[in-house]
Structure 1
Amino acid sequence: MHRAFSMRLARELRKLGFEYLACEAFTRGVDPNAGVVDRRSGAYLQDPVFAEFIREARRDGWKLVAYEADVDASVQGPERIRQREQRQARNLVEQVLARQPQARIFIHVGYGHALKTPQPLGQGGGSVLWMAGELKQMTGIDPLSIDQSWTHAHPDPSRELSSYRPALALHDGSGPFVLRKADGSARLLQLAPGAVDLQVIHPPHSLVNGRPAWLAAWAQRRPFPIPDAWLPAQGRRLIYAVHQGHPAQAIPADIVIVEAGKPAPALMLPAGQFRFEFEQF
């Protein structure tokens, strides 16, 4: 869901002249601008939604940047975290900002790397300045930092932020939203002031055709009902939809699990032509 929302945001940023898309998920040493999106591209890109985000970004003319850091194997504990954050920020400077100081960059990070203020590590580890804060310190640029990592519904409600459900009551729409105080500053849920600039809150999503509604609303996918002939007589089966012409190691555009005797969810497919593969288990 978060990656589909980021894909939706990227479409609009590209229209505004943003040109570099930097992703923590890209494998260092593998050019994200070349070849198909496959298992070598990055572990997190094995998610079909993330893979399609990157395919779309290429079609839209984004220049993709891999900035993950190589960390010294001998360094452990809090110092290892600090080294990674510093090197990630330095990689972004060296690969983009040192060459083009006015470049407009969309940096897609995981979890706390978007925080701009020092955060305690606990257990005597002191505090650490995460990547966004290191980038600000290195360049003097105050990045617009947006968090969406915790503010969403969870299948296990006990794992939701305690302030999540009360926040939903402040919104009268069905789409993602942000909260602001009377002075216009961001109102953050369980983050210290200044840690990020905005926090996107995602309302719960319904299922349509057995799949989350955001696949159609944000990722612009259309349902492809599973033909009865594809359903297993017993057990379970994975059904893969792979872009036509992509090799076997390419990340599928979508994957569903179907089970004998149970209603089958639809495949949710982006625009294009596909071949379908099956795996019984």
Structure 2
Amino acid sequence: MSIAEAGEFGLIGRIVPRLGIGETTEIGPGDDAAVVSTPDGRVVASTDVLVEGRHFRRDWCSAEDVGHRAAAANLADIAAMGAVPTALLLALCVPTGLDIAWAEGLADGLAAEAGLVGATVVGGDTSASPTLTIAVTALGDLRGVAPVRRDGARPGDILALAGRIGHAAAGLTVLSRGFRTPKLLVEAYRRPAVPYAAGPEAARLGATSMIDVSDGLLQDAGHIATASSVAIDVHRDAFDLPDQMRDAAKALGVDPYQWLLAGGDDHPLAATFPPGAALPPHWRPIGTVRSGDGVTVDGKPWTGGSGWDHFR
């Protein structure tokens, strides 16, 4: 059945039962607006848009994959503030000829990714559009801690990373060259593995700044450097190259550090911590904060690309 055959309310009727109800949801889908409790008294909010052909391709990703990716892009931003995600809002613009089963799969992916952090989709909107577009807004709760911003890094701080990096970018390159393996890299592109709990943990550990690495490590570290008026030096030897990534890079003629330092879509969290901070193993030091400005690699300017730009 196409979405045109189901109609707007038929589409909504097929999606809503798949979304579930979260603990903080007082009123979910079905009214003019949702009501979500905010125990902390402050609401953390973020939004992100995925456009077919720009951010995903249906021949590369299943509907569930796209749902996971759309949710992760927003939930990671909430975690990067040191908050716990609580709810998502979905705006879905679809071609009327799209099979309604695809929209159901999208809803399943959104609900599954949100469920990893105890959040749910609480409402949204639908519209016909010639271009499949998914806009998600995420809400979060700080649970009594101060938000971790980008402007708190200080000279002497340690730059650390939680989560995998470079895998999704490598998977994108593999897919764009017409291949479907290595599976590790392709699946990383299709579904991020975001360390959501590391965000609130970093806040408790005294992180001075933090960011979701969505567009490339060097570019996103640059946002911290600019906001904090500091320089950041990233150390190449801090990164491990999985065998699959090393082999794929050799076969495709790509410098794997381009994936690690400038690739996006894995959504690890990068944070700065005071010198001497006792960090758990999943927060691995990858650089240092210094006086000055800009981002360098092993003390030198990086001559490759720095990351994704939506308008480039």
Please tell me the TM-score bracket, short chain as reference: under 0.3
TM-score (norm. length: structure 2): 0.22
TM-score (norm. length: structure 1): 0.23
Bigger proportion of residues as helix: 2
Bigger proportion of residues as strand: 2
